[in-house]
Structure 1
Amino acid sequence: MSRKRAIWLSIGGVLLVVLVVAMLVFQPWLLFVDDEVDEADDDSRVVGTASAGLTQTEAPSADGSQATRVELASAEFIDAEHGTTGTATIYLRSDGSRFLRLTDFETSNGPDLHVWITDRRSGGDCEGCFDSWGIYDDGEHVGLGELKGNVGAQSYEIPEDADLADMRSVVVWCDRFNVAFGTADIT
């Protein structure tokens, strides 16, 4: 084999390895595939909006045999690095547990997406600065788990010991690339 051919085969091999690694890291096919979920809403009845917002800890009393809940906060998603729409609502149930409900939700599909409640304000913290959508892991956050689907209604239990008093936004976070896909202001 000639030296020139060996060089070209080596370059081709390196490029192939780089391409395979890039495909595994970026997973570009996810941009063309929606992961739809249609999770049923909680069966408790909404009886109002909390007067103390996220800091309310006193649960509404159960209405006879049916469990009830109050809305602690609700907000529309805004775009971050990817177009994101829908509503994020945090509820307090009559048994004292809390959960986040996403309705009419849609964002881009991506690798390693998670749902967080953070102490950073929705929309980034620095107008026009570099990486304003990557600041949500710089402070405190409550992880609620992996995003169940990039399209559709879904619910996430909030840990019992989570302190929401200083939390300001719900974030769909891409852990692999440290960037927010979308945020909702819950203050």
Structure 2
Amino acid sequence: MAGMRGGRFGRGTVAVAAAVAVVLLGAGLYWFQPWKLWQDTTVEESLPGAVAAAPPAPADSPAPSEAAPSEEAPAEEPSPAPAGPETVASGELISHEHTTTGTVRLVRLADGSHVVRLEDLDTSNGPDLRVWLTDAPVKEGKAGWHVFDDGQYVSLGKLKGNKGSQNYPLPEGVDPSAYSSVTIWCDRFNVSFGAAELARA
């Protein structure tokens, strides 16, 4: 009897341990999402408000010398070109926890709003990555991994893709002059993947 109880107890302990291991494994996979390190998401967006080039004249349009004669019309003054986006600050991304490259531009659009634009971004994928506009200094190495939530910051939303060129509008009422850096921030583990200091144009 004692042997049977011991065997059942042993098997029960193994079953409980196995169930706990499965739960821990599932939680770890959910939390760390390691597969994302091998998955790339590329997002390519054009800069909003960019002035498009005038379309070429149709191929069957007559050349000026071949056009039908017409009464001389008064010359029209050329209309001023619409104001396009203006870069007010920019910087190059440096690597923190993961190798990160690309350019960050703070752009003022014609309507007065601002966007943070990531250009030629190349970083690792990861769980819960965000784009933050912050007032923290950008530091090389591990000293700069965790500083961006120490002061003021504005989350501009989830990172759309770990590669490509993307736009992140500033929320209404945010004064861009109060911030001096941009980080690709992993909100789950409170660490910067990479960051750029913004130098005023």
TM-score of the pair, normalised by structure 2 = 0.77
Instruction: Kindly indicate whether residue 14 of structure 2 is the aligned counterpart of residue 8 of structure 1.
Output: yes
Stretch of structure 1 that moved more, 91-100 or 18-27: 91-100
Stretch of structure 1 that moved more, 35-44 or 167-176: 35-44
Instruction: Kindly indicate whether residue 201 of structure 2 is the aligned counterpart of residue 185 of structure 1.
Output: no
Look up the SS of the partner of 2:42 in the other structure.
coil
Number of residue pairs aligned between Structure 1 and Structure 2: 166
Give the structure 2 partner of residue 84 of structure 1: 100
Aligned residues of 1:43 and 1:67 also touching (Cα < 8 A): no
* 1:1-187 → structure 2 map (5 Å cutoff): 2-45=8-51, 64=80, 66-123=82-139, 132-187=144-199
Aligned residues of 2:49 and 2:109 also touching (Cα < 8 A): no
The structure having more radius of gyration, on CA atoms, is 2
Structure richer in helix, relative to its length: 2
Hey, what's the Cα distance between the residues in 2 that align with 1:39 and 1:184? Answer: 20
Q: 5+ residue gaps in structure 1? A: 46-62
Look up the SS of the partner of 1:20 in the other structure.
helix
Q: Residue type of the partner of 2:50?
A: S
Hey, what's the Cα distance between the residues in 1 that align with 2:176 and 2:138? Answer: 15
Look up the SS of the partner of 1:153 in the other structure.
strand
Look up the SS of the partner of 1:14 in the other structure.
helix
Q: 5+ residue gaps in structure 2? A: 1-6, 52-78
**Off by >4 Å, runs of 4+ in structure 1:** none
- Calculate percent identity across the aligned residue pairs: 42
